[in-house]
Structure 1
């Protein structure tokens, strides 16, 4: 059952309903995982997406913050959620396809502005979230699994516009990169995007603060698609839809896609 999967931090599913509709119409991925939906599930515009063929939905919502949703053309069942770091946030949801593949949709906390947990509680929460995710997947070693989402960490030097200038900036600090690396190793996850595109600068997020984000191109690769080692070889066709960042009233993230022949 070959399928294409996309992940996108939409930054409000209700505000950007039209952009989601456009993506589903123009790109037609079989599965779309959304983060930062900022809406209770009952207020998400799911009827719009069902009309486009995405009749299967597994989601966790929250008023005004967080929120994760999996929209699918393919039948899937709810496979639960985890409250990593006990934050009480809607930041993880899982769904299982009929072929036994489990999809984990994750929205890691951004971590605030100061990379010091002693003075910034949010940074500590971010590290704890990733640590608990590491421990959970170590104890529940994934097989036939895909993990996607806004992980809010750019791990490689070529995942940011300037490694040197961002070493002390939240999302690329050594401690965050180390935590993410441990989580990836503990689960035996393969970074599908970088397996497909092993070299070169690669970004999925550009700040709203830049007057001309495209020309400045000060991006970071914060959005990821991982696969368990037993199915990683079936992944191909990875791409980041940079042009979507330039749509009207866009999210500051661009969708990331990969296909799987399973």
Structure 2
């Protein structure tokens, strides 16, 4: 990869090559369910200007591809964008400062509902070896945790089953894969404000937790949040709009995830949740979740 290096105050530059085998690259990656990218583009811009991740994965963009605010992202320095959107519902996007070698979309449950997009970062991005990045928006599942009574919950369970059974989603030994997104399940006791009170609430029911952890186990994925934060500590990425004072109530859930393949486990350098974003004007009910990975 080439890098421009200042030579002296008059602004002339020299160019040097970077050997990525000697100078590993740190990839900063953020996932965020934005709950309408056009409505909240100013919040996205605020975050990008402050944090400058290399790659931003958005869920619930809620707009068709031809209405996505490409020009705004380009002005912010994010010129490489992979989209899978639809009008008014769902939608995912990968927005990057780094170019992609390829992109792909998968469908699940025989539905065309814009819940997945993947990209490959490789030589074009200056990586020594390819990295596959999957961005997901798993169905929320409605309010009734009974697939016989609630088709939305049945869809969610089927979606998780298909994720587990989809071999290309799961890395082989040595593969460099990252899976992120709003997975709409808080799988561990301290991923919710009250384990006992939420056992019959969609997003934390035993069957959902079992199925999501089954996806994780199938690919031997590393859940970065729980690799960095003890299971005994509460961790949230979502706070309901229904709370009059979300800070005082603090009834959160960890619905947004970043997983890496075993080959990247030793490269995890940082993990952070931008909790303050929940208090911004007209916010999403989810907040940005960021990891730094040596690649």
Identify the TM-score tier after normalising by the shorter chain.
over 0.9
Question: Within 1, Cα distance between the matches of 2:222 and 2:48?
Answer: 26
CA contact (8 A) 1:11 1:35 kept: yes
2:86 aligns with 62
Question: Within 1, Cα distance between the matches of 2:237 and 2:34?
Answer: 12
Count of residue correspondences? 262
Task: Name which of 129, 136, 139 aligns with 1:109.
Answer: 139
1:242 aligns with 275
TM norm structure 1: 0.98
1:212 aligns with 245
Q: Which has the higher contact order (CA 8 A, sep 6+)?
A: 1
Unmatched runs of 5 consecutive residues or more in structure 1: none
2:223 aligns with 191
1:227 aligns with 260
- Return the index of the structure with the highest Cα Rg: 2
Unmatched runs of 5 consecutive residues or more in structure 2: 1-24
Matched, 1:77 2:101: yes
After TM superposition, give the deviation of residue 78 of structure 1 in Å. 3.4
Question: Within 2, Cα distance between the matches of 1:137 and 1:172?
Answer: 26
SS of the equivalent of 1:76 reads coil
TM norm structure 2: 0.87
Task: Name which of 214, 220, 223 aligns with 1:182.
Answer: 214
CA contact (8 A) 1:2 1:260 kept: yes
After TM superposition, give the deviation of residue 196 of structure 1 in Å. 1.2
1:109-128 equivalent positions in 2, closer than 5 A:
109-128=139-158
Question: Within 2, Cα distance between the matches of 1:22 and 1:92?
Answer: 25
1:50 aligns with 74
Task: Name which of 4, 23, 32 aligns with 2:56.
Answer: 32
Question: Within 2, Cα distance between the matches of 1:78 and 1:34?
Answer: 18
